[in-house]
Amino acid sequence: MPEVHFRVRWPDQSATRCYSPSTTIRRALGPGKSYPLGEFVAISRAALERGSERVRRKHGFACGHAEMQIAIIESFAARFANQPDAQVTIEAYED
């Protein structure tokens, strides 16, 4: 399965390099697009869980890196939870 890295720009303009175990994330989040914080977290979680499930079907175990990436995204997002208009931008894919 081809892994994918993607850069996320947070509301404070900091950037994070994120990981997905498969291309499922590409179908979920468009490069150059911005998403409301809660929507970004929900979409990311769903796409990373789908990617992890693809790993499980192929290798017999879930992708621990995807689970860790979900936790990292949720941790970063928590910093902006009190900002009702917070947006997250997908800067680019690096695969």
pLDDT of the residue at 87: 98
Q: N- to C-terminal Cα distance for the chain?
A: 12
Calpha distance 43→29 (Å, rounded): 8
Calpha distance 95→93 (Å, rounded): 6
Look at residue 31 and tell me whether its pLDDT is greater than 70.
yes
Task: Grade residue 6 by pLDDT with cuts at 50, 70 and 90.
Answer: very high
- Using one digit for the tens of pLDDT, what is the confidence trace for 39-65? 999 999 999 999 999 999 999 999 999
| C-alpha separations of 11 from 52, 60, 69, 79 in Å | 27, 37, 18, 10
Helices (H), the chain: 24-28, 37-59, 64-78
